[in-house]
Structure 1
Amino acid sequence: MLEFRELEEPRPFTKAEQQAINDLKSMFKQKTKINFQTDNYFLTKFLRYRDWNVEAAYKSIVTYYELKRDNPLVHADKKVSEYIDLLNLNTRVLLDKRDKNGRIVLVAKLGNVGPTTEFNDASLLDDIWMQVLLSDPMTQMNGISFITDCTGLNSSILKWLVPKNCKVGAAKLESLPIKDWTIHVVNMGPIFKACIFLIKPFLRKATIARFQFHSNGYADLIDNLGEDCLPDEYGGKNGAIDYEKSLKFILSREKILARNREFGFKNAKPRKYKDTSKTTRLQMQIEMENCNGNINTITADIARENELNLKLGRKWGEKAEKELAECDENRAIKLRLLEERVVQDKNIPNARRDDAFLLRFLRAKKFDVDKSFRMIQKYFKMKSESPDLFRISPLSDMQNLLKMQMQQILPQHDENGSVIYLFRVQNCDPYKWPAEMVFRSNIMALEYAIRDPRTQIGGLVVMLDMAGLKFAHAKFLSPNLAKRSAEVIQDSFPMRFKAFHILHEPFYFDAMLALIKPFMSEKIRNRLHTHGNDLKSLHRHIPKEILPTEYGGTQGAFDNTKWRDQLLNDQEYFTHLETYSCDPKQLKTTISESTTNGVNGIGTEILNEH
């Protein structure tokens, strides 16, 4: 392995250097809350970092301890051997020769980061390596060359890049007492470009300038580091990377880590720290949202929806890619961008932020992050402003209404992948059922349907049978209900409404439609189809093979019993769904229609500048 003189100076300190060390030690006596490490090797790495400026070095050490106190789970606090499973992933490897400038070379193999590896895991590894490498005076003086190899990088890494993690990661990077360092990025693809786009706002310009992106193979890398230190795979002359030798090296440096663990804030209590490990990440989100419902219920439903997304199959994947521009990379990138927008919006602090929920809105808006974000804002604003229309639970209130056989989502998809929502006016007694309750039952049907990823992709077709319409039904078309219905269809609910088919409409239907049209966009108006009593006209749009016999179909008589029972058995889900909301008094009256530069293009100009 390379020559490594941890804790051993290559030459005696000068009088000025020794005086700086002594002055720095004396400053520690004034800070009783911190148990400072006073070993020369520890102090000199900060003094060299700050050009032997004692006051600047002191501030850097305090910042280092504060970061360690406030973020304990991203700093190693155990024996190095206890991290053996992480180390065996070979995501970090030390080359056995320094580069041509005398720098030590540490390689990050991002392709070895597994889908289950978390942000904290990667941060712990970096902390272990930095503690060890910076104990070497030659490294303190000459610096470090980092090689970030993006070969095989998995899109799951994007889940790390929530604002909290970006801030912590940037703070750790910029607090490292390394005077001279560079990150050389090789084999970069679109996923890492997305990572840079998300991290960049949290980095200083001086830090960004230390990144070098090598897009022309390894020629520039060899020019910067020299071929003698580089392994064969990077065009060098140093043979194959020896992962075993690197592992033995780090395991043999336990005494350095043990010494460092003894110091820091006394009785340290983390400030505003949130654990983002895999086992608690979802729970953390729910706690942040101040939800008091059944966490297990919503967690299980998210897991179920995520599993359904994974099992969509080729047919649905191709449809999503063709119609929605959805693919693995695009999905992962846009989810993180949308999550960041939701997290930063103080007006909707109680919004769901899990991937399953956010994906519904991205699909509804064809992966346009700005439009998806505005729809989320409107979704929660609508629910909060009109709880009488959007409160679903308790489902026992709906039981008798659903038994009237007035509505159902039919069990089969049409040839375009859409589900059919059939509503029958003649079974809706206007004297018995308040208009608000009928509206709520429709919202419940939509909330139930949207949990299926196939419906998110294929959309929904509304089939309205107006047979039996009475003048008493006019209360269902009040301006408020008409406006809210239009909002659900057009702006506020993450459903792709593909068409509206009207059957058995009365002669005065045009007059009724005139009440609704002012609230409808031209796109929705163009999707309205009236068929009167002509079932053949209906069958040109919806195949009779998926329709009940009452509509010329082959699926037997209309019966919503099975569908109704499925809804009523999900009481806990619908109850918990209502714990997510916003305060309409705090939500902005006008939701901005402006777009954020770079978001929908995934920061194309920024990412391509390298």
Structure 2
Amino acid sequence: MPEPEGVLHQLLMERQLPPKVAEVARMQGEDPDRTSLMIEELRDMIYEKGDCIPHRIDDDYLIKFLRARFWNVRHAYNLMVRYYAFRESNPEFYENVNPMALRSLGDDDIISISPYHDQEGRRVICFKFGKWRPAKIPIVDLFRATMLLLEVGSLEPQSQVLGGIGVMDLEGLTLNHAWNLTPAVAQKMLALLATSMPLRTSQIHVVNQGWVFDTAFQIFKPMLTDKMRQRLFFHGTDRASLHKYIDPEALPERYGGTKPEYPYTYWLEHLSRDERVVNELQQLGYVHRTPYSRGPDNMPEIKAVAKCAPTARKDQAEDVTSADVPVTLFADQPERARKINELRKLIQNYDDCHRRSDNMFLCRFLYCCDWNVEEAFGRIVKLIKLKEANPEWFFHKPIATYSELLNRNVKFALQHRDRRGRRVFVTRLGAIDFSNMAVTDLANLDDIWFELMLNELDTLESGVTCLIDMSGYSLKSFRFLTPQNIRIGSAKTDLLPLKNIEFHVVNSSVFMNAAIAILYPMLSKKIKDQVRFHYSNWDSLHEYIPADILPQEYGGTGGKVFDFKSIHGQVLDRANEFDRILTYGKRLGTTSPSATAVPPKGKSTKSKGKHKDADKKKSSSGCVAEE
């Protein structure tokens, strides 16, 4: 859409506030006679406490934190600490990011910003999440674009006082979109919109929502404070309800307004020409390159890791629109799609069984193999063969049948991540009662929890930290660690499609470590290199796993005990997704359930190659479900 003449997409960066806005600022606690004193008080607090090291401490920079917290110096300081902690935890949202490389969000009409203000003088930003295609645009780009908007908006004194308004248009939202809304994603969205940026989101208006959103919203709801809920409004398709809060003169026609709609792209182009804005963003770690620049130092690509997007629902093996998975080598999406499809064909031609070949599954292996298709295929084949030879070692029953096993609390994944963004997977060996629990039960629990974790973008990027608690574990239990069990368990671990996995052993004694040393030669080098012993030295453990996500028994500050109800809910609330996995593995053309179709022990079939014709005589018992 050509930009109409006379419409200016520019920031109002004048320090002098308009009279109406100045009156609002006064009501919020801004007193010209005390402004300098409060800025100096905030600056002194930064020096004295030292909880963060801001890249600027000039008056113009500090004042936006004070305005964001209504001139409460202590609250402004806490906001600054959270802001820099969020930046440190999520450098991929801004570090070496070229704003012009985010123009696809405007081209696809996912984000639009009106050059006009509402009746109160606030900016209005519209997000159309139903138009987002995860296979084309990774979720990290949505975060990058949103953070960029907030950073730019915080440069505008008027917006510092009034905040901004978000319109969340959910028309066209599907389960494929909702699948991306993990708790980690929800927490980051709340941090951006509510708790960690020096620009208030005054109101969020949700329109055109349906049952998919109502379901996904349950992830957000427990995280919302009363104040956040007061700023959230639901309108459905009732435009009159929306107009009670935003005058139609500030809204596009799509929402019953009088104005045309302007895509995100206009803002990017205009702001890239504003030297003041460019300088501010460069100080924050962004890079400035236009799409028309030439030379190796002026390319429009983002220097951060490229992304692809593969999380199909597990019953959609051929769906190429799916969730985000990072890609390290290929920034061009056609190349990514080609390699995904190439690997899918290899799997489909491997034998006569309905093998799992959805995007999420394939990209797990492609990512950990640096997108080498043959290597990824070989890894998947090894996994298939390992399952054929040892079916009882793999998740193979409806998730409801594992409820009692989950409730024994011997293996589980925490909902919070460690300092490097890794999932924390806990194994409490002392809680295992081998009189009524088999080694294969533990292996099944591993399968379940890793299936959950490997469906998360952050886990694929960062990895998993395994905390192994040996408290209460006796030498009698070592009789179950036979060479065969260790070999199978080690092989399973080696085949996990993860680049980064670490093991931290706690509550072990010198005597117990000596016993473990006997088993060491049976472990793979990959595993041995990643094992660390902490005994009961919690300071040593907390260098890797922060104390605030651990309970008191591990020297933590995260409560007396683990919240097992919430922990188990991560799995049990996704029972349908887990049970869909069991539909894979049956012989093509058959209708019998495959979850129990496993080969007799010691009589697994042997693959003869990658093509179906080579395995025409294979019995259906040779087909097993992929994890």
TM-score by length of 1: 0.48
Name whichever structure is richer in helix by fraction: 1
Q: What is the TM-score normalised by the length of structure 2?
A: 0.47
Report the structure number with the largest CA radius of gyration: 1
